[in-house]
Each structure stands twice: as C-alpha cells, then as structure tokens.
Structure 1
Amino acid sequence: MVFYRLLTSLILVVLIGCQSTSHENNYESVEVKKEINQRAEDLSQFDGWPQMQSLSMAYEDISEVEYFDGDLSFVVKDKRFYWAHGRLLTQADTNNWEDFAPYSFYPYPKVLPPIQALSEEHKKDIERQLNENRLNPPNRNESFYEALWGIKDQESAWEKQKTIYFLGHKTTLHRELLEDLSRVEERIHESAKKDRELRSFLKTFYRVDAYNWRNIASTTSRSLHAYGLALDLIASGQVFQNSYWQWVGYARKDWYNLPYNKRFNPPQSFIQAFEAEGFIWGGKWFFYDSMHFEYRPEILILQKDFQF
C-alpha cells in the first residue's frame, strides 16, 4: 500500500501517453512498478521513514514522501517539511533542530498492556524524566500542525472551530473533524443497542471538552485541544478522579501501579468506535489520561501497517 497514489498516476501516464504496442505498454508498466518499489525500498532505509510515510498516508494534504536536500521530506499544502530528527521542520529551522522537542510517535497497543512491575532504577528514571520536564519544558515547533490544520494563533484557531452536539453534549472542535466524529457517534449508538455496559456508561458523563487554547501540562508545546483535535469526557462518580495519572499521583506515589479496574475506563466498544475513525485513547499511555481522545490516525497506521 506504500506509494499507491504515485503508482496509480505513473501507470496512467504510461498507458495514456505511450503510443507503442500493448506488449511495450505492459513492459513499461512492469518497469515502472520495479522503479517505484525500488524507491520505496531505498527510502525505507532512512531514519523516520515509517513516521513520515504514516503521515502521508493519513492526511490528504500531505504529499508523498521523498528524499530531498539530504533528508526525508514531504509537502503540506504548499509548505515543505523535513524529518529533521523527528522535529518536522521547514528548511529555515532545520539547522536549529536541537532547539525543539520531537513530535510524539510511539507503539499503540491493540489492547491494554499488562501493568508491569517497575524496578527501582526504572522508577528513578521516571522521576528524573519528570523533573527534567519541569525544569526544561519540552518545546515543540508548531509549524507542522499549523500548516496541516490552518492555524497559527488563537484567533485563527477559533475561526476553524465549530460548535456541535456529541452524544447529547455541546462541544467545540475543528471543522475538519465533524464527519469523523459523526461516524464515531453512529458507531457508539449502534453498539449501544446490544451493549448494556456501554448504555450505562453513556449515562455517567455530563460534559465533553474539546477546543481549549492551551499548552500541554508542564510544557511549552500546544495541546491538541488548542487545535480542536482532542476531546475529554467529563464524568460523574469517584472513579473519574482516577482517570489522569497526575490526579492519582496526589493520592499515591505509585500512580503507575493503579489497577485498570480502579481507573476510569470506557467500555471497549466505546474505545473501538473512536479508534475506527482515527482517534487514539489516552488510557493506553503509560502516563495515562483515560478521559482523553485525540485525532492521530498516523499512530494507528504505524501500529497496523508498520508494526511500529
């Protein structure tokens, strides 16, 4: 499935533009396929290939990946971006790539992974990481998201938002996700006809928070809420307090050991409805945020097509 769009267009050029015989056309088509497969194989040797290719496959506004100016590259609308050690930068910023935090790409499990017992050294590493983030908050370059979603500041972000009702709750999110979220809702309603647990769960949350112009906690990088690409489900009940690792950390130092059955976890059918439309669930993160869903189809493509 890699390079399908390029393959289709090149074959059409050969078939329509060539004035030779059908045998010659077939030969040239085979040669084109070989060339494209070779290019894909060549590009796959470079650092960042799965991540860049998953982005190209996930979004219509991102071109095919190519090797350009010494790095993997693609064009977002009319602006070129480079892998730049995972920073996704324009040419003007590539020389300063170390000034920026990388974009997050990570393995996304199909099901909740077992809670692993952590060694003392691992616990110390986590604490060191958290302290480092407090002292030197990660600073992601926002140019890629700005180009992809047509947002550069709070004013332009607001212009891209639309207020709707989702599962009966008023919320505001990016206009380009309206159809995706509508399909999520359809899937949830269909599953609820046969899923008693899901029907009960839908009665527990009373608010859906999406657009919010703010940074990720303890960083200088914008939250996906600032783009209108993430939703938080605010529910009633004591268990909801166990939906976010930092909240749990106020009550217990080993927040990472909290059993799944004591966390706020939506039913599997609810999670699957979101994942089927390109959203990922924060409950599968080590630093869990189980009320949180965000639109990251490239993460799902990495897991499915690249076994990332």
Structure 2
Amino acid sequence: MKKLLLTFVFTLLLFPLTAQDRPNQGIGNLKYFERAYPDITFTRHYDVVSAEWMVEVKVPDTPGNKDGQGKTYEFYWANGSMLPASELANKENYWSLLYNYDKELFDPANYTESERERIKEFGSAESRKNGAGTPMFFFDAIYDSGSRRSLEQHIVRLSFLGNRTNVHERMKEPLRKVEEKILELAKTSPEVKTFLDNIKSNDAYQWRIIAGTNRKSFHSLGIAIDVLPKFQGGKQIFWSWAKDKYPDTWMLVPLKNRWMPPESVIKIFEEEGFIWGGKWIIYDNMHFEYHPELIEFNFRR
C-alpha cells in the first residue's frame, strides 16, 4: 500500500483532544448521515436555549421501510456527537461521530518522536479508561441496542465467506454484497483466493465491553466483524497483542510485519460502507465495522 507522510492534521483527528483542538463539525455535515441511512428520517431545528442544533431521528421499525412505523429520538448535534439532553453538559467527554478515515494506509516509519509519544499515551490504560470516547447514543437508537434484550431481536445468523456468524439485520445486505464481490474477485486473483482459504472464522456479534474501557464494543451491536486467519505467518494483527510483546514500540511495527487482508478486499468492504481497523493508530487488522457515514464523509464529499 502507498506510503504517505503522517501529517499533523491526521494526528489531530485521531486523538482525544481538548475542545479547542477538535475540528468543527457543523450541522451541514448531517447530510452524510442522511446519505448513509436513507431509510432514517433526520429533522433538525435550532434550540435557542442551549444554543445547539437539535436533530430528530426517526428510525423505522422495519429497516428499509422509511414510510412505516418507527421510533423518534432527539439528539443535540454537539459538534457531531449526537448527544441526548442528559449528556450535553458532558460533551467534552465525547468525540465526533465523523472523523478522519484515510483512503491510504500511513506508514508508521514516518511518525515523528513526538507523535510516537502521543500514540503511546493514547494507548495507555489510563487514557483508554478515562479519555474521551465514541458516543453510542445515536447507534443505540438506530440499532435498538440500548439493552442486550432489545438488540438481540435484530440479530440474524448467516454464512459469510464460508463461516456462520451472527450480525445485526441492518448489516446483512451490505455483507452479502461484500461476499459477492470477494468471491467473484477470487476467481481471477490468487492473492484473494489464498486469503479466503486462510480464513479461520468470521466473528461478529458478541455483547461485550471494549477491553480497558467502560464503553460497548461495536461487536455488541452486531455491526463489527473480525476476519481471523488460520495462520498469521509470524506477523502482528492487533495493537494490544503487539503491545504485550513490544510495550514501547508496538506502534512502530512495520507494515510488512503486520498481517493484512489483500488491499482489494479492504476496498470492497469500504465500497459497501465498512471501515477497516488496520487504518487506526491503534490498529486492529482483522476488524471491519459498518460505518457508512464515515465512508460518505471521507470518500464521497
């Protein structure tokens, strides 16, 4: 993959920052959510009391049926965090739901010394536990994942690339399209065929908290999937496991020493609304998450 210089802008967008540092995500960016979730109705109005935009989100009971019955939720835009009224006073504790996700993979060899230290701090147990994090309120609304009981009404079992797995019903069709494209490509690409033959499991839904934090994993919503290989060839696949072996230099593991799906496979996932965890600073190379709003925001402006 193409090697690019890590820029200061990249650093700003992927770290938990002070309010002064965070890029402004104006209400105009609501359009990326509207494009990403066409069956969901978004209505906005300005609240003069809080001096914040409010967004009403109507989620249909049946995905895809925009005109059917549904539930309506109210959120404050809050720089793209989509917060309920009860959390507006705590908005500094949350990231924007729209953040930088690059088309190309950055080479860790280009990190400066100060960036390495900042990444190390970002991956520390204290930062993971007490730092700002992803607000889950909007996702809990659209995936009905406020509780495990409500969420599991929407979990379906399917076959993906030769393995059975459980996913949220909203991810069923995007995954079907991903599988169709990958299987077609495998007919002419030895690299993709080898990748498929090496898949051990595809693990998606599992109700759990992210290790070292108090926040739910997107696996808990059934919209994340880990494509685990049978063999890694001695390469690193997950930042936390690498950290156990290289506590001070885990972020510097060369790209050639990290297990990765073929670039063509990653691009297929992205075409269907998924992001790949291998592009995160705290890399998770087996991991894909369904976030069509991020693909719209970063690739289709």
TM-score by length of 2: 0.79
The separation in 2 between residues aligned to 1:141 and 1:111, in whole angstroms, is: 26
AA in 2 matched with 1:166: F
Matched, 1:74 2:55: yes
The separation in 2 between residues aligned to 1:273 and 1:135, in whole angstroms, is: 33
Q: Give CA-to-partner distance per residue, 1:7-61, whole Å, 9 cap, x none.
A: xxxxxxxxxxxxxxxxxxxxxxxxxxxxxxxxxxxxxxx7433643211221124
Deviation at 1:65, TM superposition (A): 5.8
Matched, 1:261 2:256: yes
- Indicate the residue corresponding to 1:40 in structure 2: none
CA contact (8 A) 2:116 2:251 kept: no
Deviation at 1:94, TM superposition (A): 2.0
From 241, 244, 251, the counterpart of 2:238: 244
DSSP-derived class of the 2:228 partner: strand
DSSP-derived class of the 1:239 partner: coil
Matched, 1:199 2:193: yes
- Indicate the residue corresponding to 2:94 in structure 1: 101
Greater CA deviation, 59-68 or 245-254?
A: 59-68
**Aligned counterparts, 1:43-122, within 5 A:** 47-49=25-27, 51-64=29-42, 66-69=44-47, 70-77=51-58, 78-98=72-92, 100-122=93-115
The total of aligned residue pairs comes to 260
> Superposition RMSD on alpha carbons, in Å?
2.2
AA in 2 matched with 1:261: K
DSSP-derived class of the 1:122 partner: helix
Q: Identity of counterpart residues, as a percentage?
A: 34
Higher helix share: 1
Seen in structure 2, the aligned counterparts of structure 1 residues 65 and 301 have a Cα distance that, compared at 3 Å, is farther
Greater CA deviation, 277-286 or 82-91?
A: 82-91
Matched, 1:160 2:154: yes
DSSP-derived class of the 1:76 partner: strand
Q: Give CA-to-partner distance per residue, 1:112-141, whole Å, 9 cap, x none.
A: 223343333323222333333245254654
Deviation at 1:169, TM superposition (A): 0.2
Unpaired runs of 5+ residues, structure 1, are: 1-45
CA contact (8 A) 1:198 1:270 kept: yes
Unpaired runs of 5+ residues, structure 2, are: 1-23, 59-71
- Indicate the residue corresponding to 1:285 in structure 2: 280
Give the number of the structure with larger relative contact order, counting CA–CA contacts within 8 Å between residues 6 or more apart: 2
The separation in 2 between residues aligned to 1:207 and 1:248, in whole angstroms, is: 21
The separation in 1 between residues aligned to 2:147 and 2:32, in whole angstroms, is: 26
Greater CA deviation, 252-261 or 131-140?
A: 131-140
DSSP-derived class of the 1:146 partner: helix
AA in 2 matched with 1:76: V
CA contact (8 A) 2:155 2:168 kept: yes
**Aligned counterparts, 1:2-41, within 5 A:** none
The separation in 1 between residues aligned to 2:263 and 2:193, in whole angstroms, is: 12
Matched, 1:218 2:212: yes
CA contact (8 A) 2:156 2:169 kept: yes
CA contact (8 A) 1:163 1:171 kept: yes
DSSP-derived class of the 2:200 partner: strand
AA in 1 matched with 2:35: M
Deviation at 1:182, TM superposition (A): 0.6
- Indicate the residue corresponding to 1:144 in structure 2: 138
Larger radius of gyration between Structure 1 and Structure 2: 1
